[in-house]
Amino acid sequence: MTTARRFCPKCGAQVTFRIPEGDNRERATCDSCQHIDYDNPRIITGTLPRYDGKILLCKRNIEPRLGYWTLPAGFMENQESTKEGAIRETLEECGSKVLCQQLYSMISIPQINQVHMIYLADLENADFHPTPESSEVQLFSLEDIPWEQLSFASVRQTLQHFVEDSKQGHYPLHEDTLYLNNLMTLP
Amino acid sequence: MTTARRFCPKCGAQVTFRIPEGDNRERATCDSCQHIDYDNPRIITGTLPRYDGKILLCKRNIEPRLGYWTLPAGFMENQESTKEGAIRETLEECGSKVLCQQLYSMISIPQINQVHMIYLADLENADFHPTPESSEVQLFSLEDIPWEQLSFASVRQTLQHFVEDSKQGHYPLHEDTLYLNNLMTLP
Protein backbone atom coordinates (compact mmCIF):
# COMPACT_ATOMS: atom_id res chain seq x y z
CA MET A 1 0.00 0.00 0.00
CA THR A 2 2.76 2.40 0.92
CA THR A 3 4.52 1.75 -2.35
CA ALA A 4 1.39 2.27 -4.40
CA ARG A 5 0.68 5.86 -3.33
CA ARG A 6 3.75 7.96 -3.88
CA PHE A 7 2.41 11.28 -5.20
CA CYS A 8 -0.17 13.79 -4.02
CA PRO A 9 -3.34 13.52 -6.14
CA LYS A 10 -4.05 17.23 -5.58
CA CYS A 11 -0.71 18.87 -6.41
CA GLY A 12 1.54 16.09 -7.76
CA ALA A 13 4.31 16.50 -5.17
CA GLN A 14 5.83 13.41 -3.58
CA VAL A 15 4.04 12.31 -0.42
CA THR A 16 5.63 11.08 2.79
CA PHE A 17 4.08 8.50 5.08
CA ARG A 18 3.79 9.87 8.59
CA ILE A 19 1.28 10.28 11.39
CA PRO A 20 -0.56 13.60 10.95
CA GLU A 21 -1.16 15.77 14.02
CA GLY A 22 -4.14 14.50 16.00
CA ASP A 23 -4.08 11.15 14.20
CA ASN A 24 -2.65 7.82 15.32
CA ARG A 25 -1.57 6.07 12.12
CA GLU A 26 0.56 6.75 9.10
CA ARG A 27 -1.06 8.46 6.11
CA ALA A 28 0.20 9.60 2.75
CA THR A 29 0.71 13.28 3.54
CA CYS A 30 1.79 16.08 1.24
CA ASP A 31 4.28 18.56 2.65
CA SER A 32 3.70 20.81 -0.33
CA CYS A 33 -0.09 21.40 -0.18
CA GLN A 34 -0.83 19.70 3.20
CA HIS A 35 -3.31 17.28 1.62
CA ILE A 36 -3.74 13.96 3.43
CA ASP A 37 -4.53 11.10 1.06
CA TYR A 38 -6.62 8.72 3.16
CA ASP A 39 -6.99 5.13 2.06
CA ASN A 40 -10.06 3.34 3.45
CA PRO A 41 -11.94 0.07 2.92
CA ARG A 42 -14.28 -0.27 -0.04
CA ILE A 43 -17.78 -1.69 -0.20
CA ILE A 44 -18.84 -4.48 -2.54
CA THR A 45 -22.62 -4.44 -2.88
CA GLY A 46 -24.88 -6.93 -4.61
CA THR A 47 -27.84 -9.28 -4.39
CA LEU A 48 -28.88 -12.86 -3.93
CA PRO A 49 -31.71 -12.94 -6.52
CA ARG A 50 -34.52 -15.46 -5.99
CA TYR A 51 -37.09 -16.68 -8.46
CA ASP A 52 -39.53 -19.56 -8.26
CA GLY A 53 -37.63 -21.31 -5.45
CA LYS A 54 -34.31 -20.97 -7.26
CA ILE A 55 -31.42 -18.55 -7.08
CA LEU A 56 -29.63 -16.75 -9.87
CA LEU A 57 -25.88 -17.01 -10.39
CA CYS A 58 -23.61 -15.41 -12.98
CA LYS A 59 -20.57 -17.03 -14.60
CA ARG A 60 -17.81 -14.44 -14.52
CA ASN A 61 -16.65 -13.19 -17.90
CA ILE A 62 -13.89 -11.06 -16.37
CA GLU A 63 -10.88 -11.60 -14.17
CA PRO A 64 -10.37 -12.40 -11.37
CA ARG A 65 -11.97 -15.84 -11.25
CA LEU A 66 -13.09 -15.83 -14.86
CA GLY A 67 -15.40 -18.77 -15.55
CA TYR A 68 -16.51 -19.23 -11.94
CA TRP A 69 -20.05 -18.68 -10.65
CA THR A 70 -20.82 -15.66 -8.55
CA LEU A 71 -23.60 -13.51 -7.13
CA PRO A 72 -24.16 -10.25 -9.01
CA ALA A 73 -22.15 -7.66 -7.05
CA GLY A 74 -19.51 -5.00 -7.48
CA PHE A 75 -17.94 -1.87 -6.06
CA MET A 76 -20.37 0.62 -4.57
CA GLU A 77 -20.08 3.92 -6.43
CA ASN A 78 -20.20 7.50 -5.19
CA GLN A 79 -23.59 9.23 -5.12
CA GLU A 80 -25.62 6.09 -4.44
CA SER A 81 -26.94 4.11 -1.47
CA THR A 82 -25.81 0.57 -0.73
CA LYS A 83 -29.18 -0.73 -1.95
CA GLU A 84 -29.14 1.37 -5.12
CA GLY A 85 -25.69 0.00 -5.83
CA ALA A 86 -26.88 -3.57 -5.33
CA ILE A 87 -29.74 -3.05 -7.79
CA ARG A 88 -27.43 -1.35 -10.32
CA GLU A 89 -24.84 -4.12 -10.14
CA THR A 90 -27.51 -6.79 -10.63
CA LEU A 91 -28.80 -5.02 -13.72
CA GLU A 92 -25.27 -4.63 -15.11
CA GLU A 93 -24.22 -8.22 -14.51
CA CYS A 94 -27.27 -10.16 -15.61
CA GLY A 95 -29.78 -7.69 -17.08
CA SER A 96 -32.29 -8.32 -14.29
CA LYS A 97 -34.46 -5.89 -12.42
CA VAL A 98 -34.78 -6.98 -8.82
CA LEU A 99 -36.94 -6.03 -5.91
CA CYS A 100 -34.32 -5.57 -3.21
CA GLN A 101 -35.29 -6.79 0.26
CA GLN A 102 -33.26 -6.56 3.46
CA LEU A 103 -29.52 -6.72 3.93
CA TYR A 104 -28.75 -10.40 4.38
CA SER A 105 -25.00 -10.97 4.47
CA MET A 106 -22.28 -8.52 5.48
CA ILE A 107 -18.73 -9.81 5.34
CA SER A 108 -15.61 -7.90 6.30
CA ILE A 109 -12.39 -9.07 4.64
CA PRO A 110 -9.65 -7.10 6.43
CA GLN A 111 -6.81 -8.55 4.33
CA ILE A 112 -8.09 -6.78 1.24
CA ASN A 113 -9.86 -3.84 2.88
CA GLN A 114 -13.32 -4.75 1.64
CA VAL A 115 -16.79 -5.09 3.11
CA HIS A 116 -19.18 -7.25 1.10
CA MET A 117 -22.91 -6.58 1.41
CA ILE A 118 -25.43 -8.92 -0.15
CA TYR A 119 -29.15 -8.14 -0.18
CA LEU A 120 -31.89 -10.72 -0.50
CA ALA A 121 -33.76 -9.84 -3.67
CA ASP A 122 -36.57 -11.12 -5.86
CA LEU A 123 -36.51 -11.17 -9.63
CA GLU A 124 -39.53 -9.39 -11.07
CA ASN A 125 -39.63 -12.00 -13.85
CA ALA A 126 -37.38 -14.58 -15.49
CA ASP A 127 -35.75 -11.90 -17.61
CA PHE A 128 -31.96 -12.29 -17.47
CA HIS A 129 -29.22 -12.75 -20.01
CA PRO A 130 -25.45 -12.80 -20.52
CA THR A 131 -23.68 -9.44 -20.35
CA PRO A 132 -20.13 -8.20 -20.91
CA GLU A 133 -19.46 -9.20 -17.29
CA SER A 134 -21.23 -12.59 -17.31
CA SER A 135 -20.79 -15.27 -19.95
CA GLU A 136 -23.75 -17.26 -18.58
CA VAL A 137 -26.62 -16.43 -16.25
CA GLN A 138 -28.64 -19.26 -14.80
CA LEU A 139 -31.18 -20.19 -12.13
CA PHE A 140 -30.06 -22.94 -9.76
CA SER A 141 -32.12 -24.96 -7.32
CA LEU A 142 -30.45 -25.13 -3.91
CA GLU A 143 -29.56 -28.78 -4.52
CA ASP A 144 -27.68 -27.84 -7.68
CA ILE A 145 -25.51 -24.96 -6.44
CA PRO A 146 -22.07 -25.48 -8.08
CA TRP A 147 -20.11 -25.39 -4.80
CA GLU A 148 -16.84 -26.36 -6.44
CA GLN A 149 -17.16 -23.71 -9.09
CA LEU A 150 -17.94 -20.66 -6.96
CA SER A 151 -15.87 -17.52 -7.49
CA PHE A 152 -15.15 -16.21 -4.01
CA ALA A 153 -15.18 -17.28 -0.37
CA SER A 154 -17.69 -14.52 0.42
CA VAL A 155 -20.10 -15.95 -2.15
CA ARG A 156 -19.73 -19.42 -0.67
CA GLN A 157 -20.26 -18.11 2.86
CA THR A 158 -23.43 -16.24 1.86
CA LEU A 159 -24.87 -19.21 -0.01
CA GLN A 160 -24.14 -21.53 2.91
CA HIS A 161 -26.16 -19.21 5.17
CA PHE A 162 -28.96 -19.11 2.62
CA VAL A 163 -29.24 -22.88 2.23
CA GLU A 164 -29.29 -23.28 5.99
CA ASP A 165 -31.85 -20.51 6.54
CA SER A 166 -34.09 -21.86 3.79
CA LYS A 167 -34.82 -24.90 5.96
CA GLN A 168 -36.52 -22.60 8.49
CA GLY A 169 -37.76 -19.95 6.07
CA HIS A 170 -36.15 -17.30 8.30
CA TYR A 171 -33.45 -15.01 6.90
CA PRO A 172 -31.73 -12.86 9.55
CA LEU A 173 -28.74 -10.66 8.82
CA HIS A 174 -25.46 -12.58 8.99
CA GLU A 175 -22.25 -10.77 9.86
CA ASP A 176 -18.94 -12.46 9.22
CA THR A 177 -15.27 -11.63 9.07
CA LEU A 178 -13.23 -13.73 6.67
CA TYR A 179 -9.53 -14.42 7.13
CA LEU A 180 -8.28 -16.46 4.23
CA ASN A 181 -5.14 -18.34 3.43
CA ASN A 182 -5.84 -18.59 -0.22
CA LEU A 183 -5.88 -15.11 -1.68
CA MET A 184 -6.86 -16.59 -5.05
CA THR A 185 -10.36 -17.16 -3.76
CA LEU A 186 -10.80 -13.56 -2.71
CA PRO A 187 -11.76 -10.51 -4.05
CA MET B 1 -14.41 15.64 -6.90
CA THR B 2 -12.93 16.02 -10.34
CA THR B 3 -11.00 19.10 -9.26
CA ALA B 4 -9.59 17.41 -6.18
CA ARG B 5 -7.77 14.57 -7.94
CA ARG B 6 -5.48 15.96 -10.62
CA PHE B 7 -2.35 13.83 -10.39
CA CYS B 8 -1.62 10.10 -10.45
CA PRO B 9 -0.77 8.85 -6.93
CA LYS B 10 1.45 6.14 -8.41
CA CYS B 11 3.62 8.08 -10.89
CA GLY B 12 2.79 11.77 -10.37
CA ALA B 13 1.67 12.46 -13.97
CA GLN B 14 -1.47 14.49 -14.58
CA VAL B 15 -4.61 12.37 -14.79
CA THR B 16 -7.47 12.77 -17.22
CA PHE B 17 -11.08 12.01 -16.41
CA ARG B 18 -12.47 9.55 -18.93
CA ILE B 19 -14.36 6.26 -19.09
CA PRO B 20 -11.89 3.35 -19.04
CA GLU B 21 -12.45 0.45 -21.43
CA GLY B 22 -15.09 -1.91 -20.06
CA ASP B 23 -16.30 0.67 -17.56
CA ASN B 24 -19.30 3.00 -17.73
CA ARG B 25 -18.29 6.08 -15.78
CA GLU B 26 -15.49 8.61 -15.70
CA ARG B 27 -12.45 7.83 -13.57
CA ALA B 28 -9.18 9.61 -12.91
CA THR B 29 -6.97 7.69 -15.34
CA CYS B 30 -3.25 8.03 -15.91
CA ASP B 31 -2.07 7.94 -19.51
CA SER B 32 1.50 7.63 -18.32
CA CYS B 33 1.36 4.50 -16.12
CA GLN B 34 -2.24 3.36 -16.90
CA HIS B 35 -3.26 3.53 -13.23
CA ILE B 36 -6.95 4.16 -12.58
CA ASP B 37 -7.51 6.11 -9.38
CA TYR B 38 -10.94 4.92 -8.18
CA ASP B 39 -12.88 7.02 -5.71
CA ASN B 40 -15.51 5.12 -3.70
CA PRO B 41 -17.76 5.69 -0.68
CA ARG B 42 -16.30 5.46 2.78
CA ILE B 43 -17.65 3.74 5.88
CA ILE B 44 -18.23 5.46 9.20
CA THR B 45 -18.45 2.83 11.93
CA GLY B 46 -19.40 3.26 15.58
CA THR B 47 -21.60 2.25 18.46
CA LEU B 48 -24.66 3.18 20.46
CA PRO B 49 -23.33 2.29 23.92
CA ARG B 50 -25.85 1.36 26.61
CA TYR B 51 -25.41 1.19 30.37
CA ASP B 52 -27.94 0.85 33.14
CA GLY B 53 -30.87 1.94 30.96
CA LYS B 54 -29.00 4.97 29.63
CA ILE B 55 -26.99 5.71 26.51
CA LEU B 56 -23.56 7.27 26.18
CA LEU B 57 -22.95 10.37 24.09
CA CYS B 58 -19.75 12.32 23.41
CA LYS B 59 -19.46 16.08 23.04
CA ARG B 60 -17.29 16.71 20.00
CA ASN B 61 -13.96 18.35 20.68
CA ILE B 62 -13.10 18.57 16.97
CA GLU B 63 -14.60 20.10 13.87
CA PRO B 64 -16.98 19.65 12.22
CA ARG B 65 -19.79 20.27 14.71
CA LEU B 66 -17.47 21.02 17.62
CA GLY B 67 -19.45 21.20 20.86
CA TYR B 68 -22.35 19.04 19.66
CA TRP B 69 -23.26 15.63 21.05
CA THR B 70 -22.57 12.53 19.00
CA LEU B 71 -22.32 8.77 19.09
CA PRO B 72 -18.74 7.45 19.16
CA ALA B 73 -17.93 6.70 15.51
CA GLY B 74 -15.38 7.41 12.82
CA PHE B 75 -13.88 6.28 9.55
CA MET B 76 -13.36 2.55 9.22
CA GLU B 77 -9.66 1.82 8.69
CA ASN B 78 -7.91 -0.69 6.47
CA GLN B 79 -7.12 -4.10 7.96
CA GLU B 80 -10.11 -4.24 10.30
CA SER B 81 -13.72 -5.44 10.26
CA THR B 82 -16.66 -3.06 10.61
CA LYS B 83 -17.20 -4.30 14.16
CA GLU B 84 -13.54 -4.01 15.12
CA GLY B 85 -13.62 -0.45 13.80
CA ALA B 86 -16.70 0.35 15.88
CA ILE B 87 -15.02 -0.95 19.04
CA ARG B 88 -11.80 0.94 18.27
CA GLU B 89 -13.61 4.22 17.62
CA THR B 90 -15.55 3.89 20.87
CA LEU B 91 -12.35 3.37 22.82
CA GLU B 92 -10.69 6.34 21.08
CA GLU B 93 -13.58 8.74 21.59
CA CYS B 94 -14.62 8.01 25.17
CA GLY B 95 -12.14 5.52 26.63
CA SER B 96 -14.80 2.83 26.94
CA LYS B 97 -14.55 -0.86 26.23
CA VAL B 98 -17.82 -2.08 24.78
CA LEU B 99 -19.35 -5.43 24.07
CA CYS B 100 -20.51 -4.93 20.50
CA GLN B 101 -23.85 -6.52 19.62
CA GLN B 102 -25.59 -6.56 16.25
CA LEU B 103 -25.56 -3.95 13.51
CA TYR B 104 -28.45 -1.64 14.35
CA SER B 105 -28.47 1.35 11.99
CA MET B 106 -27.02 1.59 8.49
CA ILE B 107 -27.43 4.92 6.75
CA SER B 108 -26.28 5.76 3.23
CA ILE B 109 -25.63 9.45 2.57
CA PRO B 110 -25.06 9.65 -1.20
CA GLN B 111 -24.33 13.39 -1.22
CA ILE B 112 -21.12 12.88 0.72
CA ASN B 113 -20.31 9.31 -0.37
CA GLN B 114 -20.57 7.81 3.09
CA VAL B 115 -22.24 4.81 4.71
CA HIS B 116 -22.74 5.08 8.46
CA MET B 117 -22.94 1.87 10.50
CA ILE B 118 -23.90 1.97 14.15
CA TYR B 119 -23.79 -1.15 16.33
CA LEU B 120 -25.79 -1.65 19.50
CA ALA B 121 -23.25 -2.08 22.26
CA ASP B 122 -23.06 -2.50 26.01
CA LEU B 123 -20.53 -0.79 28.24
CA GLU B 124 -18.65 -3.29 30.36
CA ASN B 125 -18.69 -0.78 33.23
CA ALA B 126 -19.19 2.95 33.81
CA ASP B 127 -15.60 3.63 32.82
CA PHE B 128 -15.50 6.54 30.36
CA HIS B 129 -13.77 9.90 30.23
CA PRO B 130 -13.00 12.89 28.01
CA THR B 131 -10.47 12.31 25.25
CA PRO B 132 -8.74 14.49 22.65
CA GLU B 133 -11.82 13.93 20.47
CA SER B 134 -14.50 14.44 23.16
CA SER B 135 -14.61 17.34 25.60
CA GLU B 136 -17.34 15.63 27.65
CA VAL B 137 -18.67 12.08 27.83
CA GLN B 138 -21.97 11.48 29.56
CA LEU B 139 -24.74 8.94 30.08
CA PHE B 140 -28.21 10.18 29.11
CA SER B 141 -31.58 8.67 29.94
CA LEU B 142 -33.79 8.49 26.85
CA GLU B 143 -35.93 11.34 28.19
CA ASP B 144 -32.89 13.61 28.41
CA ILE B 145 -31.34 13.14 24.97
CA PRO B 146 -30.20 16.61 23.84
CA TRP B 147 -32.09 16.56 20.52
CA GLU B 148 -31.29 20.19 19.72
CA GLN B 149 -27.60 19.70 20.35
CA LEU B 150 -26.92 16.59 18.29
CA SER B 151 -24.03 16.66 15.84
CA PHE B 152 -25.34 14.99 12.71
CA ALA B 153 -28.56 13.93 11.02
CA SER B 154 -27.41 10.31 11.04
CA VAL B 155 -27.02 10.42 14.82
CA ARG B 156 -30.50 11.90 15.21
CA GLN B 157 -31.99 9.27 12.89
CA THR B 158 -30.35 6.42 14.80
CA LEU B 159 -31.43 7.74 18.20
CA GLN B 160 -35.00 8.22 16.96
CA HIS B 161 -35.08 4.55 15.96
CA PHE B 162 -33.64 3.57 19.32
CA VAL B 163 -36.15 5.53 21.39
CA GLU B 164 -39.00 4.06 19.35
CA ASP B 165 -37.65 0.49 19.54
CA SER B 166 -37.06 0.78 23.28
CA LYS B 167 -40.83 0.91 23.79
CA GLN B 168 -41.06 -2.63 22.41
CA GLY B 169 -37.67 -3.89 23.54
CA HIS B 170 -37.03 -5.10 19.99
CA TYR B 171 -34.09 -3.72 18.01
CA PRO B 172 -34.10 -4.78 14.35
CA LEU B 173 -31.62 -3.44 11.79
CA HIS B 174 -32.74 -0.11 10.33
CA GLU B 175 -31.62 0.89 6.85
CA ASP B 176 -32.00 4.47 5.73
CA THR B 177 -30.83 6.78 2.98
CA LEU B 178 -30.49 10.42 3.97
CA TYR B 179 -30.85 13.28 1.49
CA LEU B 180 -30.24 16.54 3.30
CA ASN B 181 -30.68 20.18 2.46
CA ASN B 182 -28.49 21.39 5.24
CA LEU B 183 -24.99 20.18 4.58
CA MET B 184 -23.90 21.68 7.91
CA THR B 185 -25.62 18.84 9.70
CA LEU B 186 -23.69 16.22 7.75
CA PRO B 187 -22.28 13.64 7.92
Which pLDDT score is estimated for A10?
A: 94
A88 plus A17 within the same structural domain? no
Within-domain flag for B187: no
Contact predicate A161/A105, CB 8 Å: yes
* Predicted TM-score (pTM) of this structure: 0.95
By the 8 A CB rule, do A32 and A43 touch? no
Q: Are residues A22 and A97 located together in one domain of the fold? A: no
The Cα B120–Cα B104 span in angstroms is: 6
Alpha-carbon gap: A124 to the closest alpha carbon of chain B (Å): 22
The reply to whether B63 and B102 lie within a common domain is yes
B51 vs B99: CA distance, rounded Å = 11
Provide the mean pLDDT of chain B: 94
Q: Is B24 on the interface with A (CB under 8 A)?
A: yes
Q: Does the residue B108 lie in any domain? A: yes
* Amino acid, single-letter form, for residue B30: C
Q: What tens digit of pLDDT does each residue of A55-69 get?
A: 999 999 999 999 999
Cα–Cα distance, A105 to A111 (Å, whole number): 18
Is residue B77, in this structure, part of any structural domain at all? yes
Q: Helices H, strands E: what count in chain A?
A: 2, 11
Q: Is residue B74 part of a domain?
A: yes
* C-alpha–C-alpha distance, residues A21 and A119, integer Å: 39
Q: Are residues A33 and A49 in the same domain?
A: no
**Cβ atoms within 10 A of the Cβ of A186, count?**
17
Nearest-angstrom CA–CA distance, B92 and B130: 10
Confidence of residue A166 (pLDDT cuts 50, 70, 90): very high
**Residue type, position A101, single letter:** Q
Predicted confidence (pLDDT) at residue A32 exceeds the cutoff of 70? yes
Say whether both B22 and B71 belong to one domain: no
Question: Do A60 and A1 share a structural domain?
Answer: no
CA atoms in the 13 A half-sphere facing the CB of B92:
21
Q: d(Cα B67, Cα B179) in Å, to the nearest integer?
A: 24
A95 and A151 fall within a common domain: yes
Helices (H) and strands (E) in chain B, counts: 2, 11
Residue contact B10–A7, C-beta within 8 A = yes
Residue B89 in domain = yes
3-state class (DSSP) for residue A70: strand
CA distance B163 to A98: 33
Does A111 contact B at CB distance below 8 Å? yes
pLDDT at residue B146 in the model: 98
Same domain, B1 and B87: no
Q: What pLDDT band is residue B186 in, cutting at 50, 70 and 90? A: low
Residue B1 has pLDDT above 50, yes or no: no
Tens-digit pLDDT profile for residues B151-170: 999 999 999 999 999 999 99
Asked if B22's CB is within 8 angstroms of A110's CB, the reply is no
B185 occurs within a structural domain: no
For residue B163, the model assigns a pLDDT of: 98
Range of the domain at B158: 42-170
> What does the alpha-carbon distance between residue A178 and residue A108 come to, in Å, rounded to a whole number?
6
Asked if B25 and B52 sit in the same domain, the reply is: no
How high is the ipTM of this complex? 0.94
Rounded to an integer, the average pLDDT of A139-161 is: 97
**Which residues of chain B from 151 to 180 reach within 8 Å of chain A, CB to CB?**
173, 175, 177
Residues A115-129 pLDDT 10s: 999 999 999 999 999
Q: Does residue B183 lie in a domain region?
A: no
CB burial of residue A173 (10 Å; 0-12, 13-18, 19+): middle
pLDDT at A122: 98
Within this chain, do residues B1 and B77 fall inside the same structural domain, yes or no? no
Cross-chain Cβ contact A7/B12 below 8 Å = yes
Res B2 pLDDT > 80: no
For residue range B19-50, what is the model confidence (pLDDT) as tens digits?
998 899 999 999 999 999 999 999 999 999 99
Residue B66 sits in the same domain as residue B102: yes
Residue B81, in any domain of the structure: yes
B113 falls in which pLDDT band (50, 70, 90)?
very high
Count of structural domains, chain A: 2
Interface contact A9, partner B, CB < 8 A: yes
CATH of the domain at A77: 3.90.79.10
Q: Is the domain of A11 the same as that of A91?
A: no
The domain spanning residue A17 has which CATH number? 2.20.70.10
Which amino acid, A44? I
Nearest to B89 by CA among B117, B125, B127: B117
pLDDT at B178 over 60: yes
B 51-110 → A contacts, CB under 8 A: 62, 75-84, 92, 102-103, 106, 108, 110
Inter-chain CB proximity A38 and B75 less than 8 Å? yes
| Gap between the Cα atoms of A68 and A53, Å rounded | 22
